[in-house]
Structure 1
Amino acid sequence: MAERLRMMAVHAHPDDESSKGAAVMAKYVKEGVDVLVVTCTGGERGSVLNPKLDRPEVWENITEIRRAEMDTAREILGIRQEWLGFVDSGLPDGYLEAEEVDRPALPEGCFGLVDPEVAAEPLVKLIREFRPHVVTTYDEDGGYPHPDHIMTHRISMVAFDAAGDPEKFPEAGEPWTPAKLYYNMSHPRAKLVALNDAMIEAGEEGPYTDWLQWFPEDKDKGSRITTQVECAEFFGVRDDALRAHATQVDPDGRWFAVPLDLQGRVWPTEDYQLVRANVPTELPESDLFSGVR
């Protein structure tokens, strides 16, 4: 019997796994792949983005609520999930708009201030225990420059390279070298334009018109995409998992504005950039496990 394929997706907060690559994970789960999501923080400092739930008792119990939401999303996607246990950094006012040297200070002890060379150890331990063939994470600016997303990238890179080195983190288990590492490329500009235009052509309001106005073409990473996995069949599962994070998403917001059948016709893939490969590869790809199967 062939060895079961394994995929690890490393994310910053509970809800990130459902907004970035969730349909691909659901697709692979159905195919028999063992999928583990690693959540670096508990999301303790996250905002309540659903206006229907923005009330004091939710804020007071946000840590427990976000864990319960993650449990529900995990069941919907059919995945496994582990917490790394770091503390959410939050997003101070003005952080995203400021230049790096001028950004507001982060709270003491938060994930965004850890030393990635040290903080990678629990992720190395999980990689060595789970032995994934494929690892996914964020690019060098975290997909967007949230401090926890950037630190997720940093510890993922350290851990991916260290996991197979017996001299690194010797107490973290037997070495294992994953075959491939990918960055999530969740929102290339061409995708937003295509979906927005399709909605307008259908006589509806374009849900991304405002977004595209502050998304300059020189910030687009679409040219970096190497791998597009068809997964439109699982867009509904993805949306159900995202809605399970009820404090983090407005069910009436733009994330759900484009009908699933239109999404499937216009952009039926989730997209990635291959950044490490320890197996022969040929680009472009349509499968994260190309060269591994």
Structure 2
Amino acid sequence: MTAPHASKPSLLGVFAHPDDESLLAGGLFARHAAAGARTAVVTATWAPDSHRAAELADALAALGAGRPRMLGFADARVPESAPSRPRLCDAPFDEAVGLLVGHVREFRPDIVVTHDAYGQLTGHPDHVRTHRLATVAVQASGLEHLYPDAGAPWQPAALHLATHPHSGVGELGPLLARVGKKLLSVPDGHVTTTVDVSAWVGQKWAAIAAHRSEATREHSLPGILLRLPAEARERILSTEYYTRLDTAPSAPGLAPCPGRVVFPG
């Protein structure tokens, strides 16, 4: 089943860790929510009863993105994040895809947003794994014979990959380099959508700051941003970049229509 045309497309984020949704697409979620669209986020790691789940709930409230939806796998670098579950990178791929398909079919989004193929921002193995899971799940969710127990088929119209073009690295690249991290940017031509979220940067920052345990860490991105002057922080957070991949099949003999579902505003 294909998502219908809508001026306010529904949006489902699929991200590896609590805080990724706010850092990579917080402005987009706030913008969609302000336009009256349905929005939600699936988080692949950390247990639903962990302190980071509680922080995630506060962040999603700031963005208008509903309740946490957590797959509950362990963080690759923090196995105690979900003591009774395997690390996301060790979990059976098909099992994880099936769980994610269930969320896609239950929420029925027009657009799914996730990490790019590099594992935006810095190539964390959980980011890369989540990108692969989301890419397969978006295709599988529309096929009735795949994961029949996960709900009625639903085909999102597009997958948007959160990314950074080479020309958009700006101040963020050097900030990450100072703590030994590299921002994995893509050629400018890979970016199909640039979103000005300056009107929602206050909500975006409130959501990032809600991840309190990360903000206290010196080398985490929330911690780095917290120590910046407000003006510099707003410059970094005011623009988001995405690569759009159309996923809904076209009618026979017709080329895909890239404008069929668009961001509002």
TM above 0.5: yes
What residue in structure 2 maps to residue 177 of structure 1? 155
Percent identical among aligned pairs is 29
Q: How many Å apart are 1:89 and its aligned residue?
A: 1.9
What residue in structure 1 maps to residue 198 of structure 2? 232
Aligned length: 241
Q: How many Å apart are 1:222 and its aligned residue?
A: 4.3
What CA distance in whole angstroms lies between the structure 2 residues aligned with 1:228 and 1:276?
16
Alignment equivalent of 2:241, drawn from 255, 259, 271? 271
Bigger-Rg structure (1/2): 1
SS of structure 2 residue aligned to 1:275: strand
Q: 1:1-293 alignment to 2 at 5 Å?
A: 5-42=9-46, 64-80=50-66, 81-90=68-77, 109-143=86-120, 144-185=122-163, 187-193=164-170, 195=171, 208=175, 210-211=177-178, 215=182, 220-223=185-188, 224-250=190-216, 253-256=223-226, 257-260=228-231, 263=234, 268-278=238-248, 280-281=257-258, 289-290=261-262
Taking only aligned residues, the RMSD between alpha carbons, in angstroms, comes to 3.3
Structure 2 stretches lacking a partner, 5+ long: 249-255
Distance change (3 Å), C-alpha of 1:247 and 1:274: same
What CA distance in whole angstroms lies between the structure 2 residues aligned with 1:24 and 1:42?
23
What CA distance in whole angstroms lies between the structure 2 residues aligned with 1:30 and 1:260?
23
What CA distance in whole angstroms lies between the structure 2 residues aligned with 1:222 and 1:235?
25
Structure 1 stretches lacking a partner, 5+ long: 45-62, 93-106, 197-205, 283-287
What CA distance in whole angstroms lies between the structure 1 residues aligned with 2:18 and 2:177?
26
Task: State the TM-score, normalizing by the size of structure 2.
Answer: 0.78
**C-alpha contact 2:18 2:52 (8 A) present in aligned 1:** yes
**C-alpha contact 1:10 1:136 (8 A) present in aligned 2:** yes
What CA distance in whole angstroms lies between the structure 1 residues aligned with 2:176 and 2:63?
30
What CA distance in whole angstroms lies between the structure 1 residues aligned with 2:61 and 2:212?
15
* Residues 181-231 of structure 1: CA deviation (Å, up to 9, x unaligned): 01101x4443333x47xxxxxxxxx97384599759xx5314221101121
SS of structure 1 residue aligned to 2:12: strand
What CA distance in whole angstroms lies between the structure 2 residues aligned with 1:118 and 1:209?
34
What CA distance in whole angstroms lies between the structure 2 residues aligned with 1:232 and 1:86?
33
What CA distance in whole angstroms lies between the structure 2 residues aligned with 1:70 and 1:270?
20
Letter in 2 for 1:117: D
* Residues 90-147 of structure 1: CA deviation (Å, up to 9, x unaligned): 169xxxxxxxxxxxxxx98211112322310011111111110000111223223322
Task: State the TM-score, normalizing by the size of structure 1.
Answer: 0.71
SS of structure 2 residue aligned to 1:111: coil
